[in-house]
Structure 1
């Protein structure tokens, strides 16, 4: 058989692929390694050694060495001087903050949060839904000598937290529904109760002695885009009681919602 195309048939173009050929592989091995490492460290509370990282991502120590050096040089990883362990820096969180929606939300929220903290002398933080978890976007500390601080960038489960229940109850349905379906029956019942009540007040499931008071922050579309949480610390030195904190937190959440166009 000759290689000449038959009359009426189309000759194959140079570089063209048959329909039954395997799809081209456009992966970038070095990038895959870097993402594997970032995702690994994001899921760990502490640091990991170079050898532990290599083992966890299924690579050799020499394969991850240059990737670790690059990520450290670009500020995405921090290597502890004494232990030599690698951990994530805040660089990824800083990148996320450059997104216009998050910058706008933080800008709108901080003045009202500062006014609230100054008035009732309690800390407060702003949480958003991020990949099915609660991400702390902003935090204002109490001006008093005591208070409860939550680190900006911290993540908490959606289920079992007051902030998560409020975000699930009032968030945009298309965003919350995939995560709601994975909650337990008890957690879904809690979301329903929060929706009827309009806010949540409950003992913190992770920190004894803290009462979480949480109000939704609504965006222009009418769904909650964030939740204002007050980790209320009740002591004999507290300047405001629970009902007063609730009233001021509600007002602060409404002020932030108004600034967002709600």
Structure 2
């Protein structure tokens, strides 16, 4: 029977969501006992939930350690949103052209629940470089986060990466018709013998790519 009580509890769903949220914050696999402690349940209470989440593909269990990890299913589900699919489809071509020009990788990120989420990546054609995993998330204080929350009055932001020494983030906004930065294109620039261009030239190329993708988004 349906209920109109907004506080109506669904214990099994609460357990599943608690587990997914906890795993999302972990840097590696987690055992059943640790998971149970983290979500305030007994191992027997989380056992069936873990089985079901694994069967549905939301989590994976490493063999032979038996540790649980969050799968990429949530990211795959997010990519099924028409808005994100369309944005990635418009951006990926210019991003690949950018990497071919500057011999550095680049990524596309958006705001996601108060964090910066990488939704697309274009690899550098060079034999050596730096890349960011699709699905990775970062705090708003990062250069991409600053561009997404505060904009980029100069059309770009150049700033040392506070999380990775030796990397300089070169970020350009993707701006929609209302003037809002809906995404950020970032080249995590690393100076190596494979670097085809000086950093100033790479920054100009990133800025131009941001303008190109912005024009595609607006339909200019």
TM-score range, shorter chain: over 0.9
Shift of 1:237: 3.0
Aligned mates of 1:205, 1:196 — CA distance in 2:
21
Q: Is the 8 A contact 2:155 2:207 kept in 1?
A: no
Change (3 A) 1:49 1:247: same
| 1:238-253 mapped onto 2 (5 Å cutoff) | 238-253=195-210
| 1:157-176 mapped onto 2 (5 Å cutoff) | 157-159=139-141, 161-170=142-151
Aligned mates of 1:220, 1:196 — CA distance in 2:
16
Q: 2:35 aligns with which of 42, 53, 66?
A: 53
1:68 has 2:58 as partner: no
Shift of 1:208: 1.5
1:209 has 2:166 as partner: yes
Q: 1:230 aligns with which of 181, 187, 193?
A: 187
Aligned mates of 2:211, 2:80 — CA distance in 1:
25
TM-score by length of 1: 0.79
Aligned mates of 1:111, 1:197 — CA distance in 2:
24
Structure 2 counterpart SS, 1:197: coil
Change (3 A) 1:25 1:242: closer
Shift of 1:25: 5.3
RMSD value, Cα:
1.6
**Partner in structure 2 of residue 153 of structure 1:** 135
Bigger Rg, which one: 1
Structure 2 counterpart SS, 1:78: strand
Structure 1 spans left out of the alignment, 5+ residues: 1-21, 171-194
TM-score by length of 2: 0.93
CA offsets per residue over residues 64-119 of structure 1, 9 Å max, x none?
11110000000011101121111100001111111111111101100000011111
Aligned mates of 1:82, 1:62 — CA distance in 2:
21
